[in-house]
């Protein structure tokens, strides 16, 4: 089976941030949080708050989205065109997507792509609160082992060295940069 990171790998950009911008533009009620979210971004940038805390504070905007399912659907209608052509050319039904982005955000696009196994950050789509750890780094390996015990990864694709724990498990690993990929550097495993 092949395992893929999603953001900046299958999708050309970070879906969480792009969804935030989409909702900010589409639902004026979400704009009431902009000053707080800007301050939280600064705190995260200098290392004062954790990634999990930052994501929860950023995604607090979902409380002001009248129908989150409709918002997610409309978002992917507009953004599907940014799925990598390289991925569309090689996708298989046995693919697994593992992402730090919220599962509720990626579930519709995974279904559209025919991906049956999606592993992401478990976030409440109504409150923006994360249930359990953020799905990043070593946590991706933990979550893969929980969902698919004994998984054998033939090929792994990611844009980030933070995914080295998964890259080490794969028979072959690749760094993705746009539509191009190269073998994962041995010194980064």
CATH number of 2-12+83-188: 3.40.50.1000
Confidence band of 177 (pLDDT split at 50, 70, 90): very high
- Whole-model pTM over 0.85: yes
Q: How far, rounded to the nearest angstrom, does the alpha carbon of residue 108 sit from its chain's CA centroid? A: 13
Confidence band of 180 (pLDDT split at 50, 70, 90): very high
Q: For 35-64, b where at least 16 C-beta lie within 10 A, e where not — what string?
A: eebeebeeebeeeebeeeebbbbbbbbbee
> Mind listing the pLDDT tens digit for each residue in 81-105?
999 999 999 999 999 999 999 999 9
Rounded Cα–Cα distance for residues 184 and 155 (Å): 11
Asked whether residue 11 carries a pLDDT value surpassing 90, the answer given is yes
Residues above pLDDT 90, as percent of the chain: 92
173: which strand partners?
A: 156
Mean pLDDT score of the chain, rounded to an integer?
A: 95
């Amino acid at each position: 089976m092949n395992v893929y990171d999603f953001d900046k790998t299958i999708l050309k950009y970070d879906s969480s941030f792009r969804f935030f911008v989409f909702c900010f533009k589409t639902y004026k009620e979400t704009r009431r949080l902009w000053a707080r979210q800007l301050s939280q971004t600064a705190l995260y940038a200098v290392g004062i708050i954790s990634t999990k805390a930052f994501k929860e504070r950023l995604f607090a905007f979902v409380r002001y989205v009248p129908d989150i399912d409709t918002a997610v659907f409309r978002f992917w209608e507009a953004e599907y065109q940014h799925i990598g052509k390289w991925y569309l050319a090689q996708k298989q039904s046995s693919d697994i997507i593992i992402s730090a982005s919220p599962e509720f955000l990626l579930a519709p696009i995974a279904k559209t792509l025919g991906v049956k196994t999606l592993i992401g950050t478990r976030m409440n789509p109504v409150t923006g609160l994360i249930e359990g750890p953020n799905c990043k780094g070593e946590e991706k390996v933990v979550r893969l082992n929980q969902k698919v015990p004994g998984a054998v990864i033939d090929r792994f694709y990611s844009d980030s060295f933070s995914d080295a724990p998964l890259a080490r498990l794969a028979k072959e690993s690749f760094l993705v940069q746009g539509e191009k990929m190269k073998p994962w550097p041995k010194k980064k495993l």
